[in-house]
């Protein structure tokens, strides 16, 4: 192994990849542009949907309930103080829900007015369509407004008997959120960022790894390369460093895209949740450990990608193997997506991929444990060594190098 030879191979591979406009577009330009666009579109659509669910809610009465007296009850008492609710008339109420013309249909008992007058309870059926997001989301708003009407009637009845409505509320609930603004922002980021990072690191090197070994086999340029002065180890490390470099270029391009998206629309990072992430910060030691852990993860993926590309007979076969690798990475990612940062068991910091996901979760969740982070870093370094050994073993065996 000669460092000079490694450097020569590395420069040669980087130049070759940079000449490929497709590699530059997929590794740099697409993440830089696509990620902020997706975040802003998703966040903007969620904000718009939440606004539409709570504002401008159209309702109708069933055919049996569509009388002048009940319409007056709904308009002048139930929804009077709620301008976001609109009672409209339609020919077929149920069909109107299907056509998204209205959100819900209210069906009152036929003798509801008599029961209301005599102090008896009556039933209001609310018909809605749970398959429609706006219809299902509006149900909670409608329930809340009907409950307000109930409380108003109860108050009037108690006042008639000279009683205070407070007698019906023996315990008053007061909410107090003990999570700081930083912790709330971190909980949102801990669900999104670790999974995104792992996916980017597992996919960023796929294109160069496929081309640098399996691609060269197809172009018949791999055998002549092996006859040059650099040893196989030097050639392997030169290609390995190239794949690692482009993995991190993809991550950095995505990071730049996230920053640009945040500058354009600060709510893009919270994906429309309304949580402010401006006050979010990570302690410097935890940040450094997190960066080292992400670097080791990228190095592990790069070695595995080189190994699979070496094993493959062709460019297409290498793409198939590497796509399976990406699918395998997403399984632990989604399995730990909703795990709370304070509930992560210690063993996860030893398991490949899960150790990186868990590390970023405890950092973003402000449950930082430096022993856990150190464990994740050491275990990740072990996996780097194992993956490099695997790639080197395949690279040195003729039966894999010259598979046809």
C-alpha dihedral sign at 206, 208, 213, 215: positive
User: For 190-221, b where at least 16 C-beta lie within 10 A, e where not — what string?
Assistant: bbebbbbbbebbbbbbbbbbbbbbbbbbeeee
Q: Hey, how many other C-beta atoms are within 10 angstroms of the C-beta on 139?
A: 18
| pLDDT, position 403 | 60
User: In Å, what is the CA distance from 59 to each residue of 30, 89, 210?
Assistant: 44, 9, 57
Are the C-beta atoms of residues 335 and 315 closer than 8 Å to each other? Answer: no
Q: How far is it, in rounded angstroms, from Cα 111 to Cα 150?
A: 17
| pLDDT, position 40 | 61
Torsion on CA atoms 248, 35, 317, 296, rounded to nearest 10: 30
For 119: left if phi > 0, alpha if psi spans -120 to 50, otherwise beta; the answer is left
Using 70 as the pLDDT threshold, list the residues of the chain that sit under it. 1-2, 20-52, 177-188, 226, 258, 261-281, 399-400, 402-404
Bridge partners, 105 (sequence order): 60, 127
Q: Hey, how many other C-beta atoms are within 10 angstroms of the C-beta on 73?
A: 18
User: In Å, what is the CA distance from 27 to each residue of 63, 211, 243?
Assistant: 60, 14, 11
φ, ψ (nearest 5 deg) of residue 334: -75, -30
Give 30-37's long-range contacts (Cβ < 8 A, gap of 24+). 31/200, 31/250, 31/253, 31/254, 31/257, 32/253, 32/254, 32/256, 32/257, 32/260, 33/257, 34/257, 35/254, 35/257, 35/258, 35/261, 36/257, 36/258, 36/260, 36/261, 36/262, 36/264, 36/268, 37/261
HEC string of 292-343 equals HHHHHHHHHHHHHHHHHHHHCCCHHHHHHHHHHHHHHHHHHHHHCCCCCHHH
| pLDDT, position 270 | 55
User: In Å, what is the CA distance from 232 to each residue of 1, 158, 390, 391, 395?
Assistant: 8, 90, 14, 11, 7
Q: Tell me the whole-structure pTM to 2 decimals.
A: 0.66
DSSP string, 160-181: HTT--GGGG-S--------S-H
Q: How far is it, in rounded angstroms, from Cα 141 to Cα 50?
A: 12
Are the C-beta atoms of residues 277 and 177 closer than 8 Å to each other? Answer: no
| pLDDT, position 174 | 77
Helix (H) / strand (E) element for 61: namely strand 57-61
| pLDDT, position 386 | 92
Burial-class residue 160 by CB neighbours within 10 Å (0-12, 13-18, 19+).
Answer: exposed
Q: How far is it, in rounded angstroms, from Cα 51 to Cα 204?
A: 37
Pairing of strands 104-108, 85-87: unpaired
| pLDDT, position 381 | 92
| Sequence-ordered strand ranges (E) for 109-206 | 124-127
Check residue 57 and report its DSSP letter.
Answer: E
Q: How far is it, in rounded angstroms, from Cα 351 to Cα 349?
A: 6
All domains of the chain, ordered by start, with CATH? 3-48+180-401 (no CATH), 55-168 (3.40.1710.10)
Q: How far is it, in rounded angstroms, from Cα 163 to Cα 319?
A: 76
pLDDT in tens, 153-206: 888 888 877 777 777 777 777 777 666 666 666 666 777 777 777 877 777 777
Residues written for the chain = 404
Task: Pull the structure tokens for residue 294.
Answer: 């992400």
């Amino acid at each position: 192994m000669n460092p000079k030879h490694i450097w020569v191979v590395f420069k040669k591979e980087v130049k070759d990849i940079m000449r490929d406009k497709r590699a530059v577009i997929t590794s740099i330009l697409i993440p830089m542009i696509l990620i902020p666009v997706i975040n802003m579109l998703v966040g903007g659509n969620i904000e718009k949907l939440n606004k539409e669910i709570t504002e401008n809610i159209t309702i109708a009465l069933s055919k049996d309930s569509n009388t002048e007296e009940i319409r007056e009850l709904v308009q002048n008492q139930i929804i009077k103080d709620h301008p976001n609710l609109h009672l409209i008339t339609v020919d077929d109420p149920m069909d109107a829900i299907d056509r998204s013309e209205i959100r819900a249909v209210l069906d009152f008992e036929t003798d509801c007015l008599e029961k209301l007058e005599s102090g008896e309870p009556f039933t209001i059926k609310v018909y809605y369509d749970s398959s429609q997001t706006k219809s299902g989301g509006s149900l909670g708003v409608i329930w809340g407004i009907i409950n307000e009407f109930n409380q108003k009637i109860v108050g009037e009845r108690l006042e008639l008997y000279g009683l205070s409505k407070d007698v019906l509320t023996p315990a008053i609930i007061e909410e107090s959120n003990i999570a700081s603004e930083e912790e709330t922002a971190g909980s949102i980021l801990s669900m999104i960022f670790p999974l995104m990072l792992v996916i980017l690191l597992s996919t960023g090197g796929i294109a160069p790894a496929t081309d640098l070994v399996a691609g060269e086999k197809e172009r018949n340029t791999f055998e002549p390369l092996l006859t040059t002065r650099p040893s196989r180890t030097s050639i392997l490390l030169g290609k390995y460093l190239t794949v690692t470099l482009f993995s991190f270029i993809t991550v950095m391009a995505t990071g730049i895209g996230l920053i640009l998206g945040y500058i354009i629309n600060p709510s893009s990072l919270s994906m429309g949740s309304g949580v402010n992430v401006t006050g979010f910060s990570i302690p410097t030691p935890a940040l450094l450990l997190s960066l080292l852990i992400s670097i080791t993860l990228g190095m592990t993926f790069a070695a595995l990608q080189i190994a699979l590309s070496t094993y493959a007979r062709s460019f297409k076969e290498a793409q198939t193997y590497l796509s399976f690798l990406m699918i395998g990475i997403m399984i632990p990612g989604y399995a730990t997506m909703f795990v709370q940062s304070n509930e992560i068991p210690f063993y996860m910091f030893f398991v490949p991929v899960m150790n990186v996901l868990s590390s970023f979760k405890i950092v973003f969740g402000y449950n930082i444990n430096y022993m856990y982070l150190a464990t994740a870093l050491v275990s990740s370094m072990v996996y780097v060594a194992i993956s490099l050994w695997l790639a080197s073993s395949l690279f040195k065996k003729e039966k894999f190098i010259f598979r046809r």
